[in-house]
Amino acid sequence: MSYNAKLFSGTGSQYLSEAIAQKFGEPLGKVNIQRFSDGEIGVEFQESIRGQFVFLIQSTFSPTDNLMELLLMIDAAKRASAYKVIAVMPYYGYARQDRKDRPRVAIGSKLVANMLTAAGADRVVTMDLHAPQIQGYFDIPVDHLDSSAIFIPYIESLNLENLTFAAPDVGSANRIREIATYFESEMVICDKHRKRANEIASMVVIGDVTDRDIVLIDDICDTGGTLAKSAGLLKEKGARSIRAFCTHPVLSGNAYENIENSVLEELVVCDTIPIRHHVGKIRVVSTAELFAIAIRNALENKSINSLFLRSRMASKNI
């Protein structure tokens, strides 16, 4: 290959980085990430990256060591005279802390953006930020990929008769409406009210779901409580079947039990975060090809517009 590009992986995303590198057509570069006895992390590139485009692949899910690894890799790459350093973050941690909605709270997603920029990142490639406006926290380019490019072919393969899309909350209604428009289907909204994080106080369904095959779409599945409760309520309202699609499988706490014991037919997730337990209702789809294409297009200064739902809609004259 004639391009001066090298791909490296942090320890948290090794499984996905290998798949991306295979789709990209180049092996992962060699980097030594060591941990000292007190837990401190050290990073050393074991090959020359002078004058190269360096793509560092690491999702920043818990623990925060994954974020620290990425920051140290960026710093090491800049100090090794890399031409450009691109942080490829399939899952952007702290994205749910995107605004000051209560007094005296931190805006974690802005802090992470500041740290990535200060460390020396020239560009960020990520997928399905919890709030798209987080892109505005950066003063460097952000390529924000959309999991619809992966989920839509899967949904099409199901050949559901009375397909109806459900938004898990009012905030995601615009995105779900786009997908429903693409399929020429109806949509409903599960409006929920929280008293505190990860705990739903009440929920209502806006719209008719009688005898419908429901597809719920969300960006993050954390404890699975929202999905399980939404699915149960939709079933009570007369839905024939309920499936859920979530980009980032955080799956903390009792999430696996909540999903397995719910009325969901299946939960389809991306591999931006590794699955800790494989249970019957969870299906994993790969993001490797999508990220490989985005990396190549960034390298060749090509548009990534074709990777988005709006490009598919334009081809269908919607």
Q: pLDDT over 90 for what percent of the chain? A: 78
Q: What is the CA 141 to chain-centroid distance, rounded? A: 18
Q: Give how many domains the chain has, as a whole number.
A: 2
**Four-residue CA torsion sign, 144, 148, 154, 156:** negative
Q: Same structural domain for residues 167 and 123? A: no
Q: Same structural domain for residues 193 and 101? A: no
Q: Same structural domain for residues 103 and 217? A: no
Which structural domain range is residue 213 located in? 148-285
User: Is residue 130, in this structure, part of any structural domain at all?
Assistant: yes
User: Is residue 317, in this structure, part of any structural domain at all?
Assistant: no
Q: Same structural domain for residues 205 and 243? A: yes
Mean pLDDT for 231-245 is 94
1: pLDDT strictly greater than 50: no
Q: Report the catalytic residues.
A: 192
Least confident of 170-174, 207-211, 260-264: 170-174
Which CATH number belongs to the domain containing residue 66 in this structure? Answer: 3.40.50.2020
Q: Same structural domain for residues 172 and 72? A: no
201 strand-pairing partners: none
Q: What is the per-residue pLDDT across 56-113, written as a single tens digit (0 to 9) for each?
A: 999 999 989 999 999 999 999 999 999 999 999 999 999 999 999 889 999 999 999 9
Q: Same structural domain for residues 139 and 41? A: yes
